[in-house]
Amino acid sequence: MSVRQPADEDPADSEPPRSQAEVFLPRSHNGRWNDPSRLLLIGPAWVGDMVMAQVLLQVLRRRWPRLQIDLLAPPATAALGERMAEVRRVIPLPVGHGRLAIGLRRKLAIELRSQDYDWAICLPNSLKSALIPYWGRIPVRTGFSGEGRFLLLNDRRRLDKKKLPRTVDRFVALGLPTRLPQPSQLPAPRLSVGVGEQKEALQRLGLSIPQRPLVALAPGAEYGPAKRWPIRHWISLAQALIQRGYAVWLFGSPKDAEITQAIAAAVPEVLDLGGRTTLLEAVDLLALAAITVSNDSGLMHVAGAVGSRVIALYGPTPL
């Protein structure tokens, strides 16, 4: 768990105050309308979704510059909050994916009551994601309807998948008063790069920054073969890049190691980092790549958020 003070805001970057009819809904004890002051954001379990959630944070910070935002997320994605400038505090939820763990969630919710959150946003649509805000007695609990969450959420939104086709659109919609239209343009997600941590990762792995232009390849994908470009094509691409004078690094989780090892065996000149980096090390090292070629995966989103130019390969699954 870590604490970070909100980043300094340039007043020119902040949106002007809204009228009383547009501000946050809860009322204070004296009946006046208040802006939110402390938000608990319930983050998603998938890396790509967590990166897209950062867009919501930018929208929230522009609208409410003084809003303190804490992020509650499972182990697979919580670390990304450390690289989101808008997040004050990261609270890991030590529960494996798919586990209910009612006792642990209730205990954590009771502990969080002392933080005086006045707003919670549940990005996942599951029932269990709404338990902690409910047990934590957070006054306003926002999320999409469904999954039996009628009693747990009191700011329920109807999900119109035609109006909000993308995950990022849905996340942003949860952070806006219902009377306001969806923004026509959204900022790109951004993750900060730890320069010191980058150097430490290079040192730990026995690496140096390549003298040649670096291309990162991310051949894995969480949903299996349907989202994966065939290995033979990755091998051909790696060979072509090496021949043209590029340095090529392979990235992936431990689950992707078999794929990256097969590519490295066929093209010994590439550097295989599959399964060898933490998520935050991958964030820092992908920032070194001028170009990233990736399947539709979490690393695809990470690469774009650290400024690498991304060439994304989509399989026969919905975007």
The whole-number pLDDT of residue 226 equals 74
Q: Are residues 208 and 160 in the same domain?
A: no
Q: Are residues 136 and 206 in the same domain?
A: no
- Name the domain boundary from 109, 144, 174: 174
The span from the CA of 65 to the CA of 129, in Å, is: 26
Q: Are residues 162 and 290 in the same domain?
A: no
Q: Are residues 15 and 125 in the same domain?
A: yes
Q: What is the CATH number of the domain that holds 14?
A: 3.40.50.2000
At 111, list the tokens: 């502990």
Note the pLDDT tens digit of each residue in 94-152: 887 778 899 999 999 999 999 999 999 999 999 999 999 999 999 999 999 988 899 99
229 located within any domain: yes
Q: Are residues 216 and 156 in the same domain?
A: no
At 77, list the tokens: 């994605």
Q: Are residues 156 and 278 in the same domain?
A: no
214 located within any domain: yes
DSSP 23: S
Evaluated on CA atoms 299, 300, 304, 307, the torsion sign reads: positive
The whole-number pLDDT of residue 9 equals 39
179 located within any domain: no
Burial class of residue 122, CB neighbours in 10 A (0-12, 13-18, 19+): buried
Helix axes 195-204, 279-286, angle to 10 degrees: 110
From 284, 292, 98, select the one nearest 300 (Cα to Cα): 292
Q: Are residues 226 and 255 in the same domain?
A: yes
User: Which regions of the chain are under pLDDT 50?
Assistant: 1-24, 26-33
The whole-number pLDDT of residue 318 equals 55
Q: Are residues 214 and 68 in the same domain?
A: no
Q: Are residues 10 and 41 in the same domain?
A: yes
Range of the domain at 169: 2-174
DSSP 316: S
For the chain, how many structural domains are there in total? Answer: 2
- Name the domain boundary from 122, 139, 174: 174
188 located within any domain: no
From 158, 156, 152, select the one nearest 129 (Cα to Cα): 152
Q: Are residues 128 and 215 in the same domain?
A: no
288 located within any domain: yes
319 located within any domain: no
Q: Are residues 170 and 215 in the same domain?
A: no
186 located within any domain: no
The whole-number pLDDT of residue 179 equals 83
Q: How many CB atoms lie within 10 A of CB 109?
A: 19
206 located within any domain: yes
What 3-state class would DSSP assign to 247? strand
- Name the domain boundary from 144, 174, 204: 174
Q: How many CB atoms lie within 10 A of CB 91?
A: 21
Q: Are residues 228 and 268 in the same domain?
A: yes
CB 307 within 8 A of CB 216: no
